[in-house]
Amino acid sequence: MSIRIGIAGITGRMGRLLAEEAVAAGATLAGGLGRPGAAPPGDTPAPLLPDAAALFAASDVVIDFTHAATAAAHAAAAAAAGKPLVLGTSGLSAADEAAVARAAAQVPIVYAANFAPGVNLVLAIAERMAAALPAEAYDAEILEMHHRQKVDAPSGTALALGRAVARGRGTTLEAAGTESGRDGHCGARRTGSIGFAALRGGQVVGEHTLLFAAASEQIAITHRSFDRRVYATGAVRAALWLRGRAPGLYDMKHVLGMEE
């Protein structure tokens, strides 16, 4: 039996790509949520449903790439319906993430900052590099650039990179401290902190560079996304993977088989 995939935000740019990739993967489009007055994707027709409860009721799994403001409500709807959720929305607050974690105690949820397979490999490499390069000698800086419409900064992927570096160093991003938005006479860089720089312009899909800079050498690892479809393909892969999973909070490392 074909899996029924529902898409929150199906009338948007990412929603349309998700619909196309779901159909390409052999899934059935159960329906979607969209902006009032917006039309569903023409090439992959699916009914627009009135609310999240109706979407989860009609679906075997829902993919949500909408807005941070709806993340907690959609996670609660998933738990109430007993249906899995793939959550790719960035910019969640600590309270939003706590709400997602509570829902994951009842249903399986894949929550990831980025669904591109390459990015998740970079995250794994970043953690290992940070473990090998001591914070006292190697400053960690993360540079990201996105299209001019992106509303949150640093990006969710940049923050995930920062957390990976912190884990590799046996700490947390909050404990390590962050540096961003340097301007004017801001003083010397703090040892062990993790720096962020965010650029916005044009229609850049996504670029992330992690730098480890020491007195005698510099190491950089960069990932560039050229097409948003890579996120849609990864999210549909996660939706198919979720079927039959036990409740819990998963990420793309689980989907890719990089973590049990």
Catalytic residue among 67, 83, 147, 150: 150
Q: Token pair of 78, please?
A: 């998933």
What's the DSSP call for residue 48? B
* Residue that is written with structure tokens 């948003």 in the block: 228
Catalytic residue among 83, 146, 208, 254: 146
* Residue that is written with structure tokens 């899934």 in the block: 27
The order of strands in the sheet holding 218-225 is 178-180, 194-200, 139-146, 206-213, 218-225
Query: Catalytic residue at 254?
Result: no
Query: Catalytic residue at 253?
Result: no
Query: What is the tally of helices (H) and strands (E) in the chain?
Result: 9, 11
Q: Token pair of 105, please?
A: 């105690």
Instruction: Please confirm whether the linkage preceding 154 is cis (ω < 30° from 0).
Output: yes
C-alpha to C-alpha distances, 196 to 59, 81, 121, 187, nearest whole angstrom: 39, 39, 20, 16
Q: Token pair of 123, please?
A: 């995250």
DSSP 64-118: E-S-HHHHHHHHHHHHHHT--EEE------HHHHHHHHHHHTTSEEEE-S---HH
- Among all residues, which ones are annotated catalytic? 146, 150
